[in-house]
Amino acid sequence: MTDTTATPVNDIDPDASVQDLLEEADTLPCGPAERALLDEALRRAEAAGDEEAAYATRMRLTQSAHMTGDTDAMFSSFGWCVGKHDADPERFPITVDGCDLLFQYKWMAGRLSTNPTFSLAQIEAMHEDMRARYAAAGATMSGVVQSQFHIATVTGRLDEAAAFLERRSTIEDDRYSHCEACVRNEDAWFHQLRGHDDDAIRIYDEMFENRMSCGEEPETSEAQALLPYLRACRFDDAKAAHQRSYRVARSNADGFGIIADHLVFCAVTGNEARGLAMLERHLPALVNDPINLSGHADGLIAVGVLLDAVARAGHGDLPVRGADAPELARYLGTESTDPAEWTVTAVAARAWAAAEHLARAFDERNGNGFRTERLEAARALATEQWDLPLSVEGFAAPVAEPEPATTAAEWRERTSALLQSADPRGAIVAAEQGLALLADDADPDENLRAGLLGAIAQAAVIEGDDDRAWAAWADRDTALRAAGRIAVADVEARFGVALLGTATEDRLTLLLAELDDARLVPVDADRLIHTLVVTARHAFELAGSQTEQESAERFMGIADRLAGEAVLAAAVDDPGEAGPPARLLHAHLFAVTGRIEEAVELLDPLLEPGQRASVRLPALTLRTRMLGGAGAFAEGVALADELVALQTVLGNRLGIIQACSLSAALLSDADRDREAAARMQLAITHAKRAEYADLDSLTLQLARYLQFAGDAATALEHYDEVYQAKREHAAPGELADLLANMGEAARMIGEHGMAYGVWRAAIDDAASVGNDQVVIRTGFGLSTLLVQFEDDDAVEVIDQALTAARRLGDPQLLVQALQRAASARAAFGDDTGLPLYSEARDIASAHEAAWLVADITDSEARSLGALGRADDATATARLAAAGFVAAGDENGAAVAEVFAARSRVAVDDHTGAVELFRSARGRLPAGSPDWTTVTAELADAYERLEEHTDAALLRAEIEE
């Protein structure tokens, strides 16, 4: 896997020697960070006039450039080194610090073949030079013949390739032979090109079963094996190969050649949406190596195959994001700025045209029609289809662009929506648009102007811009007075923008005094209701900030009384249109205090379609959350989707993201995680268009929903996407939870090695900042995995989790940790953990958790069995069964008795086993899978007692 993060030159130690830089580079994977060190080492070597150091650096650079697809740098560096070696072999030897000039020769002919500018004669001349140098070094011709075989294969001279393959089999391998993985890969690809998929599959299977690997293996072979596996109906193998290979290739700087096979795979398996997402993620990498035109041609063909499939699926009008990147202009560019030129259909046509042009150039160089034939074979894949869904992800719903606001009133609604979505900057911009329209109005609505100015003041306070806040507040005062709302203006003038800031007890006291004044006859209804709402809001905010229940209840009581008074007063006379905010505030208060029916009664009128958006939005949000809290998920989802639609009309992308996230959460709570993932896809689509700052959090949530839906492989890709983005700059502990989730996803798809690695990293990261929750959760998973693979490190891991659980003090987690710690020890023959079961039981008993006591006892029985103490295991399992019965869990009792029965079978006590199997059988529903299993085991026990009639009767019951 290549590194994707560069090391800036100014971060490199200025005092480091060339050797220091080379040693540091050797610790890094091939990629930008490693390359930056090599480039700086070369610069320093050349500046010092140290040709030996420059030679050693360029030898490494050749290797790095080969791995990252920088053919130009590879050729340049290699040629320089060859020249230096030929001029002075003693100063510039063939081998330097593990880099071997003759070994690097094996890469050169293959790279020459990737560009039709280099003739076959030039490639053969490279082979002649290689042959002479190998002979002079006393090497066999294995590496030379393998290179000739490869060139013959990729240039379509398959008969010649077969002859080279035969010749290679007669040559002894040596240190310049290609590695086993690379040889097998090229052999399998040769058989594929000849149409012999069975031979190719045999080689691929052997590679994977024997875990052969190299720089880009096995991910390259896994990608190449996809179509043969599909044609052989080995769908599970195809799916697994796709998931494993893509996980590695996606972070490879030179990985588009591998990814191209995955694009084709998605096209022919009905995973067009997944393929399009992959294409948009990786498309610019198609031309990372400007010399490798063969890779460009293969990539363009894959683009054409995929986009044709997307169009056939009915999405030809979708845009292909990234296709207009400047680096792709040589193939996909067009002078037109018309969006229609960047649709799936249009880009596909240009990709095919460019691929055809390249194919003709290669065919002219090779003297055959091989590349054109391969292109036509790729087109013919449109007739080959396999239904193999890989992910719950689908095409994102089309994003409707809102109609532009044309009136100041419409801008007011958008301003309100933006404020409610915590977008103060957007709210200010929207409010200013509305004010500009009012400025052109001969008879402007001053009340509307006051509202817009109030929104600007509120947003400015949120942003900490006091000057803007006070300026807007002063202008609002003028507008209120022009609108005839002089009493309200006077109140606001007395308090200033402090009314918009964080609530304080002193200000509440002043507001209550102001309220007493407002109640004096003659009453100004506008002033009274306005002051009631402002004061109630302050009291409500103070209630939420209290740490003492008595204080919180006191402030909540004030808020309740004043909000109720405001609602009643507004029902009589509401000149300032403060009734809806009063209702909303009181409903919120009722919801928080559990008075749901009263909250609903207040909210229902605010949900009517005729209400202003600024009223409906907060009402819909609150009602949706209330429905979710009540478990009415379907109704909540319906309202959340109304929120999405309303925010879309308003053009509030942040609001759309929040509404989609709310809808997704409700869907997930209702166990509809596939739909939740679709909502998050829509949220992410809007987030990308809005250049949303926290896209990673949405991606993580999408990954969680995919994981909940059983699509752990795709979830893992999204987790890795966020990990790669964060890992270089993450603070200690920041990645712990992400790594824990990655480990669980890896475990779910059987990638146990990956699960082990990321779980280890998660525990270390979490422990570094005292995040006991993650240490415990991850320790549980990792210790279970280690026990599964009989690795006694499980004990150390679970002990770390147990220590964290004791520190955290959560009784439930502590009991689980105690059980697991005891069980892990017993799994490795250590009985010192048995007292931990007693400790766990004591905690459960103290909390009157009868079922948990039985479960702990059942776990202890199994540990006793693992320790070979069959009699103790049986007796303890009987106690567990009795405990489950007392707790009302007949199934749990049956499971405990089955374990006890099997313990008796293990020591040839078949009479005891019969008794326990019969008891367990009686607790299970007749005909259920568990009942069938227990009945069969009971019959076996009777057979061992030579009670054949009873055994036969039981088996007859099963057959019925």
Q: Which residues pair with 319 in a beta bridge?
A: 343
For every residue of 240-295, DSSP letters joined together read HHHHHHHHHHTT-TT-HHHHHHHHHHHHHTT-HHHHHHHHHHHGGGGGSSTT-HHH
Share of the chain above pLDDT 70, in %: 98
Q: Which residues pair with 512 in a beta bridge?
A: none
Q: Would residue 229 count as lying in a domain?
A: yes
- 693, pLDDT greater than 90: no
- 4, pLDDT greater than 60: no
One domain for residues 877 and 950: yes
Of 688, 709, 730, the residue that ends a domain is 709
One domain for residues 236 and 274: no
- 8-state DSSP, 313: I
Q: Would residue 917 count as lying in a domain?
A: yes
Q: What is the pLDDT of residue 599?
A: 94
For the stretch 585-629, pLDDT in tens is 999 999 999 999 999 999 999 999 889 999 999 999 999 999 999
One domain for residues 585 and 695: no
One domain for residues 477 and 549: no
For the stretch 921-939, pLDDT in tens is 999 999 999 999 999 999 9
- 521, pLDDT greater than 90: no
- 950, pLDDT greater than 90: yes
One domain for residues 228 and 343: no
Q: What is the mean pLDDT of residues 881-893?
A: 96
Distance of CA 386 to the CA centre of its chain: 26
Q: Would residue 533 count as lying in a domain?
A: yes
Cβ atoms of residues 524 and 518 within 8 Å: yes
Q: Would residue 371 count as lying in a domain?
A: yes
Mean pLDDT value across the chain = 92
Q: What is the pLDDT of residue 5?
A: 42
Q: Would residue 732 count as lying in a domain?
A: no
One domain for residues 166 and 183: no
One domain for residues 272 and 375: yes
Q: What is the pLDDT of residue 10?
A: 47
One domain for residues 473 and 506: no
Of 249, 276, 308, the residue that ends a domain is 249
Q: Would residue 10 count as lying in a domain?
A: yes
One domain for residues 363 and 460: no
Sign of CA dihedral 35, 41, 46, 51: negative
Q: What is the pLDDT of residue 333?
A: 86
For the stretch 299-308, pLDDT in tens is 999 999 999 9
One domain for residues 469 and 552: no
Q: Which CATH number goes with the domain that contains 241? A: 1.25.40
Q: Please state the domain count of the chain.
A: 8
Q: What is the pLDDT of residue 485?
A: 96
The span from the CA of 679 to the CA of 690, in Å, is 17
Which tokens sit at 163? 């002859």
Q: Which CATH number goes with the domain that contains 666? A: 1.25.40.10
One domain for residues 156 and 184: no
For the stretch 748-801, pLDDT in tens is 999 999 999 999 999 999 999 999 999 999 999 999 999 999 999 999 999 999
For every residue of 673-701, DSSP letters joined together read HHHHHHHHHHHHHHHHHTT-TTHHHHHHH
Measuring CA to CA, which residue among 235, 265, 261, 264 is closest to residue 249?
A: 261
Q: What is the pLDDT of residue 30?
A: 80
Measuring CA to CA, which residue among 151, 167, 79, 149 is closest to residue 118?
A: 151
For the stretch 368-387, pLDDT in tens is 999 999 999 999 999 999 99
Q: Tell me the residue range of the domain where 317 lies.
A: 256-383
Give the chain's largest Cα–Cα span. Answer: 113
Share of the chain above pLDDT 90, in %: 79
The span from the CA of 42 to the CA of 38, in Å, is 6
Q: What is the pLDDT of residue 165?
A: 93
Q: Would residue 125 count as lying in a domain?
A: yes
Q: Would residue 57 count as lying in a domain?
A: yes
- 906, pLDDT greater than 70: yes
Cβ atoms of residues 803 and 840 within 8 Å: no
What Å distances lie between residue 886 and 853, 889, 890, CA to CA?
A: 11, 8, 9
Question: Confidence band (pLDDT; 50, 70, 90) for 400?
Answer: low
For the stretch 428-470, pLDDT in tens is 999 999 999 999 888 999 999 999 999 999 999 999 999 999 9
Of 226, 249, 272, the residue that ends a domain is 249
Residue type, 524: D
Q: What is the mean pLDDT of residues 70-83?
A: 91
For the stretch 224-265, pLDDT in tens is 999 999 999 999 999 999 999 998 888 777 789 999 999 999
What Å distances lie between residue 282 and 129, 259, 307, CA to CA?
A: 37, 8, 14
One domain for residues 277 and 311: yes
